[in-house]
Amino acid sequence: MKAAINTVYGAPEVVVVGEAPNPEAGEGEVLIRVHATTVNRTDCGMRTPYPLFARAFIGLFKPKLHILGLDFAGVVEAVGAGVTAFKPGDKVFGLSPNVYGAHAEYICVPANSSITHMPNGVDFAEAAPLEGAWYADMSLQAFNIGPGHKILIYGTSGAIGTAALQLAKAYGASVTAVTSSAHLALAEQLGADRVVDYEQEDFTALDEAYDFALDAVGKQSYFRFRKVLKPKGIFASTDLGSWGEVMWLALWSKITGNRRVIFPMPKASKALIETMKARIEAGQYRAVIDRRYRLDDIVEAYRYVETGQKVGNVIIDVAP
């Protein structure tokens, strides 16, 4: 099969499109013909790697996983013994956080993992982007967000930010979106109750106090957000923060029990995918798509994602 393969760490150019062995569905597994996947921040971090201590888990001197790709949408090609929930020809979508592998024509995943039938009314490219929604929903659930809550989301134009905005609204919260001038209209279209242009206004001087604040970009300092949080308000980030402090502050918060800072660790599940399917079918979430590339052009996709300028998701069309 054709696949995007990287056997060493490095810049986008270390990824080479070539041939790899076709996977086969073993007992309890599903073989999927991938139609669409994404290149996202997680893939870039696995390839670089970032942060450096990730090498302890993904390969000290060279990557353990040679085919990246975290999320996928496609068609079931074959099923292994004991699989009854899926059959050949089924359209499915999901996440593969344990083995990745979606940057290829075929991927094999356990039938009881983070996979389900595709939502009605969307195509493969619209169903595939799940990485941003995964991180967003993980943070919102860690907040235990619900009706009546007020949340400030910094960076609502990327994959995580566009998902967090929509999902926070689905949970019933009031959302203030902090974004750049170019993306104010998008935040409004996605349902933000208030939109703040960080190029024109200091969000730390807002006249509101929030139950939660989420840095969907992961590059700001917690101490900036503290100014707009309620006395018991909670902050979460999708990365380590401007000085790498978020993880240590989260650890200290856990030790002291104050929960002022949390750093949710990603954990995918079938329940998450089923929830996302329901959100999509209910019109509560739609993936924002910026650009689409062929698998042969995946290096260009990586280069674009690493500019930090993408809006929503970058799709890789694997099947013609």
| Least confident range of 105-109, 143-147, 215-219, 281-285 | 215-219
Indicate whether 17 pLDDT > 90: yes
Instruction: Please report the beta strands in the chain, taking only residues with DSSP state E, as ranges in sequence order.
Output: 2-5, 16-19, 29-39, 71-79, 91-95, 106-110, 115-117, 150-154, 174-179, 194-197, 210-215, 229-237, 261-262, 289-294, 313-317
Alpha-helical segments (H) within 83-179:
124-127, 131-143, 159-170
Cα(254)–Cα(8) distance, integer angstroms? 36
Pairing state between β 261-262 and 229-237: parallel
Cα(32)–Cα(117) distance, integer angstroms? 12
Residue 184 CA from chain centroid, whole number: 21
Indicate whether 216 pLDDT > 80: yes
Percent of the chain with pLDDT over 70: 100
Q: What is the CATH number of domain 2-129+287-317?
A: 3.90.180.10
Task: Say whether 131-262 and 2-129+287-317 share the same fold.
Answer: no
Q: What is the pLDDT of residue 267?
A: 83
| Tokens describing residue 130 | 């799940």
Predicted model pTM: 0.94
Alpha-helical segments (H) within the chain:
41-47, 55-58, 124-127, 131-143, 159-170, 184-189, 222-225, 246-256, 270-281, 298-305
Tell me the pLDDT tens digit for each residue of 56-78. Answer: 878 888 999 999 999 999 999 99
Q: Radius of gyration of the chain from Cα atoms?
A: 19
Cα(252)–Cα(259) distance, integer angstroms? 9
| Domain residue ranges of the chain, discontinuous segments joined by + | 2-129+287-317, 131-262
For 131-262, the fitting CATH number among 1.20.1250.20, 2.60.120.10, 3.40.50.720, 3.40.390.10 is 3.40.50.720
Cα(68)–Cα(60) distance, integer angstroms? 17
| CB atoms near residue 60 (< 10 Å) | 9
Cα(166)–Cα(233) distance, integer angstroms? 21
- Is there a contact between 46 and 57 (Cβ–Cβ < 8 Å)? no
- What is the arithmetic mean of pLDDT over 71-94? 98
